[in-house]
Structure 1
Amino acid sequence: MRTRVFTMIAASLLLLLTAGCGPFPSALAADGAVSEARMQQDIVNALKERKSSLQLKFTGKASTLKQTVKDTLEKAIRTDDYLHYVVKTYGYKATLKGDTATIAFSFTYWETLAQSAEVKRQVARALKRILTPSMNDHEKEKAIHDWIVTNLSYDTQLISHSAYDGLMNGKTVCQGYALLTYEMMKQAGIPVKIVEGTSRGRAHTWNLVQIAGQWYHLDTTWDDPVPDMAGKAYYNYYNLTDAQLRKDHHWKASASYPAATADYGQALKALGAKPSSKAEFYRKLYGTLGFSFLEDAYTVTSVSDLTDRIRRAADSRENELVVRYTRGGTVKSDLKKALNAQTGVAGMSYTMEDYTRTTINDKLLRIKLQY
């Protein structure tokens, strides 16, 4: 009987650098051949226990056996988002005799079993401090977002990749942010998923959260200033739709990623208009997330309009003007023209950032005036 050997080695999406991990025990399945469902469950169990290896036999059609093993391994890895992204590398080597394969799986991890357990404990303690029984999911999400962004900083050296690193050392990359967001939302009872794709030219992960029956994109990584600013949180990537996020995030469509189509600003505006004990929270959050800049009073659409807005601010001796400018592609030259048209203004400085609440190239301008 002919014997064939086939091998598959894969790396989790965000495997950038090797992190030092201690040795893990191996696992050996029963000697008899297992079914496809049993093979998947055995793999899941090995991952949950952070085993470094798993050996088993599987019988199937020789023509499709290699693909079956590969597909089953992928399904097992993706049964749980936290488990998926805590796996660092995975693969297998199989020896095939007829319709039976003897398979040796291998795994490495970003977190040990003990470290993942510590993440759960630390998250439970943090949630006990920042959440109250009276909070609804809108309030819980805001509290969790702010806690993560103000307690973690982005690891610019790209060494730390886990939620454990973020909690214990205060630094991690996007994978760690997404994992911690996932665990905190999950323990708080908020449906959550991890999304993988690219952003700003790099491999990237973020989250989808379900609030009041609607899914939204939440990127705690890009809401954290770099370099880190103590106590500072941004909200540019807080509860965006698919269309809004696609301005600078890219991902492959998947049945695992529910559609995010509801406008969160409209939801907050409606909630804030209803008499309730939470109305003031909704109105304040509406402003914090920058939805006010969609209103005409804060929107500028042309050079002449920008010139006029600056002139009116100068006439009133205002020190700062904040507006959404819809001509993002020409903002620098337009600002120069608007300043040159002013009288009575000694100088002007500005900061500019992408405005993520629309699907066009809008910029949020903060203009400081000197007299």
Structure 2
Amino acid sequence: MKLNKLFKSAGLFGSLALGGALSAVAPAAMADQEYLLTVTRPNQLHVIDMSTNKVARTCDIPGDFGSGIMSVHPEGTHVFVLGHNWEDVYGFDIRNCDVTFHAKQSTPTLQVKSYQSLAVSADGKELYTVQNPVKKHRDHFEVLEPRLAVFNIEDGLNAKPVRTFPVDRRITKIVATEKGEVVLGGADLKAINPQTGEMRTVVKLANWERGPRWLQPDAFAMHTQGNQSNEYIMPYSTAKFTDDSMNFETAEWWWGMARVDLATGEVERRELFPFEFIIFNFVSDPRNEEILYGSFNTLSKHDIRQQKTLAVKEMPHTYYTINISGDGETLYVGGTSSDISIHSSETLEKIGSIQLTGDMTTADMRVATIKD
């Protein structure tokens, strides 16, 4: 369906503001309810009722398929999706699939891509993304400086940046803190004030001066699924060498993380447990921050206080991402293919599956909670 027809069919106009939409009373059946959100090809947003593990509704996303990266509004009723070849941002009311926000970032002479970077402010008023612009000249392309773009969510269907600030290259996943900063995941973790552009280093990774017997950490900034615990986790791998010969074969290999508490801004950086298999993403147990779960070709459970792997389950195929229910009892493992595998967080045993209409590939799995 074309974009203008989709807007008209939803009864929406360019002057629609999300603030009004958010004030609407949700149906009683949807109050105080968790929904699992993900995106699949060809270009659809799926809203899954986590009380039944059934797809409640499927929303068509305008334009071409994008990365499927999402950010949920604090009220849980709306989600923002990076789509259309990683260029446009669309906001949806997950209760009825209405498109309530649209930011078209590219122009005929300027191509703008956002790589995984999408975040909503803690007060729900602003949306942030890191733009990577390329100017199109008649006979060449000019790569311009990356920038943080700030949008007012209430600007609705024709949103334009209200502020931009220069940022580092290589920034992917970002998140907004309750202190009013935006954490930028790149070579190091930095934070920017989206009102002034003031930047600070939160914690060093690539530039961590740790000593000659430690390998520079290799961080993986694909997804950030920490909304259930109100945190941001950046996994990394590193090695500790046994002597100055820097022999990789005898080195101790470790998984580590940098973790930011989004309420307080406090950060920790530490090794977690030995590197024995690949993990794409971590999610922590909302009941116990010392318990982490990981996903890729395996589903794993770890006690990071003891630096110990508690359980590992081989998976039938690769799963890029993972999330968890608010009560911490159920794990959802997805991404890559068209199925979401459901597991007990206690035993890691499979307890269910959700079959979708297309592949999730790089898409997020986010949890939206609509409270009474």
Q: Place the TM-score, normalised by the shorter chain, in its bin.
A: under 0.3
Q: Which has the higher contact order (CA 8 A, sep 6+)?
A: 2
Structure (1/2) with the larger helix percentage:
1
Structure (1/2) with the larger strand percentage:
2
Q: TM-score, length-normalised on structure 2? A: 0.28
Q: Which structure would you say has the larger Rg?
A: 1
